[in-house]
Amino acid sequence: MKKKLLVGNWKMYIEKPEEAKRFIAACKRKAQNISGVDVVLAPSFTLLPTLAAAAGSRIKIAGQTVSPFDDAQHTGEVSAVMLKAAGAAWVIVGHSERRATEGALVPAQVAAAHNAGLMVVLCVGETERDPSGAHFSVVAGQLAQALMGANGKPAAAKVVVAYEPVWAIGKDASEALPPAELREMVIFIRKTLADLLGRAVGIKIPILYGGSVDAHNAPGLLAEGDISGFLVGRASTEVTSFIELMRICKK
Ligand code: PGA
């Protein structure tokens, strides 16, 4: 069986190099025997080199976003090549906290990441649910936009999809998606990916869940949701809860 994938999105929770180094040292100390899970951490840009140096080979590093541009005249942007040079092998694209203002950039960001050889965690998810089931077409639209790209050339290589219903992000675990509803959405995402990219490619793309995941709801979501792992925010910024999630993913 393929290993589960646990991606930690630090957002702006961890701000200083000393904190990042302490986190990794404690993780290494306490998680010595946990080898059955793939772990990726996404710190802010300023912490990338520190984390990449501290993490060693067992924990991979991700950018939290990437510039869609590759030419130099873009003040304040960080290109995919820069991310790679800073030690990242992955990048999160389309997180809802960025989609709100720059959703149109997602296809170019996926393309830029792939051109630099980065793995992409592509976030999709509806902002709210209503009984009409409109959330399915929202997610299908986001997948088509991101994966068919501006030129219609499919971008299936090196993509992991993270389903994160926006209304469940940053809340209490009790407000996360129930496992049965996750399973329904995962089946829908898998079918959409197969329609977009062809069955052989589409069904191989791992699907993660994110949105108020913690040690209490993770086992149920994993067992019933038919997912390949998690993208977690807050629970990835505290060593004990992150290690607990590693343990759960390993089972
Ligand atoms: P959360 O964040 O785990 O704190 O809900 C998830 C995310 O935004 O990726």
User: Does residue 97 carry a pLDDT above 80?
Assistant: yes
Q: How confident is the model at residue 34 (pLDDT cuts 50, 70, 90)?
A: confident
Domains and CATH numbers, the chain: 4-250 (3.20.20.70)
User: Does residue 213 carry a pLDDT above 80?
Assistant: yes
Q: What is the pLDDT of residues 223-235, one digit of tens each?
A: 999 999 999 999 9
Q: What is the pLDDT of residues 146-180, one digit of tens each?
A: 998 755 566 667 899 999 999 999 888 788 899 99
Ligand 1 pocket member 99 (CB < 6 A): no
Cα–Cα distance between 24 and 51 in angstroms, integer? 8
Mean pLDDT of the chain: 93
User: Does residue 100 carry a pLDDT above 90?
Assistant: no
Ligand 1 pocket member 210 (CB < 6 A): yes
- pTM score, whole prediction: 0.95
Average pLDDT over residues 83-87: 97
Average pLDDT over residues 113-136: 94
Ligand 1 atom closest to the CA of 234, numbered from 1: 4
What is the CB neighbour count within 10 angstroms for residue 100?
Answer: 10
Ligand 1 atom closest to the CA of 170, numbered from 1: 5
* 234 CA to centre of ligand 1 in angstroms: 6
User: Does residue 136 carry a pLDDT above 90?
Assistant: yes
Nearby residues of 81 by Cβ (< 8 Å), 6 or more positions away: 70, 116
Average pLDDT over residues 78-101: 96
Separation of first and last alpha carbons in the chain:
11
Per-residue pLDDT at 30: 87
Average pLDDT over residues 205-226: 94
What is the CB neighbour count within 10 angstroms for residue 130?
Answer: 8
Q: What is the pLDDT of residues 233-244, one digit of tens each?
A: 999 999 999 999
Per-residue pLDDT at 50: 96
Q: How confident is the model at residue 48 (pLDDT cuts 50, 70, 90)?
A: very high
Ligand 1 pocket member 234 (CB < 6 A): yes
Amino acid, res. 214: D
Average pLDDT over residues 19-43: 91
Ligand 1 atom closest to the CA of 236, numbered from 1: 3
Per-residue pLDDT at 192: 96
Report the catalytic residues: 95, 164
Which residue's CA is minimally distant from atom 6 of ligand 1? Answer: 233
Ligand 1 pocket member 4 (CB < 6 A): no
Q: Classify 238 as helix, strand or coil.
A: coil
